[in-house]
Amino acid sequence: MPDRLYIQPLTFAPSPQAFAGDAVRLAGGMVYAREFAVIIRRDGSVVERALATAETIDAVLAQLPDELGPEAEAQWANLRMAHPPLQLGERTIRLDQPQVMGVLNVTPDSMSDGGEFLDDPDKATAHAAQMVEAGAAIVDIGGESTRPGSAAVWEGDELKRVVPVVERCAAMGAAVSVDSRRPAVMEAALAAGAQIINDVSALRHDPRSLEFAAASGKPVILMHAPGEGDDLHADAGYANVVLDVFDWLAAARDRAVAGGIERARVILDPGIGFGKTLADNLALMNALPLFHALGQPLLLGASRKRSIGALSNEAPAHKRLGGSVAFALTGMQAAVQLLRVHDVYDTVQARNVWRGLRDAALTDFSALGD
């Protein structure tokens, strides 16, 4: 196996002027990174690690073996890349600040709503309207639970659950993504007005998915999950969960692009909670800035996950608001562009306060005076 390289942002600054310009704007967002680890992995183990700042990184990269030079330059450019907005029908979703995606499950066995919106499109649409009013930029509609141990859903049932709600949400002007791994559901949802495909299997569940997604011209969210069949949580085993997930997402991105999906339309999700232990999830949360080196917008779906319960005396899903907001704020600090959450109002409020702090930090208080 050839050596692999990774450039990981390590430390952050409140503003670029805090270090006389020796900091970079991470992924075109509201976070500034100053120090970076340049990591080489060989046969699953980290064998070299050097530190650099924006001023010194050229010299550090120049010392790398020739075969790693192109990847190093690509990752360094990716970390500083400003992503264009998502154009979702008449809605434009800017990616220079965190955006909130509201979760709408129309399933009988969701961990969060217990089937509250199943077979009731009007109630589901009313909830979507509340999320949009609260500040959700996108509503993510799914008709199949993918929690550990959940059974696969028949395609006909998924269509019956999802399509009427997508139609109603699109009709009221919401930007809609469809959370599905089946191309027939993707196709019907897009025809009903959805604008994004969110596939937790990263277009692996059905061999027709990649071809359809490419032909659709819509943005596609590819999530990491170790399982390849109906059980997305199966076959988990990591030498280094952060770097293994990074490599997996890089391969998923490349497969999508090779299959005809425009690279600018690929969004990546590290898959918090899918085939991962508590330690794995925490490692990924702490390493989120690294994934910008892949050069794609990032989505974080950590809301109400089991890890929050594990850290809070096994609090049930509906009592994980505080932990969900803490995870969302961690994503904001890592310049993640999309936050997939159940509690839209509280997350948007946290985002707005966080953004106010970031805006204020651009004025260096130490430079004020007569």
Among 305, 320, 351, 358, the active-site one is: 305
Contact 6, 42 (CB under 8 A): no
| Three-class DSSP category at 316 | coil
Pairing verdict, β 32-42 and 4-13: antiparallel
In the annotation, is 340 catalytic? yes
Helices 208-216 and 241-258 pack at an angle, to 10 degrees, of: 70
End-to-end, the C-alpha distance of the chain in Å comes to 61
Q: Is 118 left (phi over 0), alpha (psi -120 to 50) or beta?
A: beta
* Residue 85 DSSP symbol: P
Q: 168, 182, 265, 340: which one is catalytic? A: 340
- 129: how many CB neighbours lie within 10 A of its CB? 17
CA distance 150 to 330: 28
For this structure, is 305 an active site residue? yes
- The residues that are catalytic are 305, 340
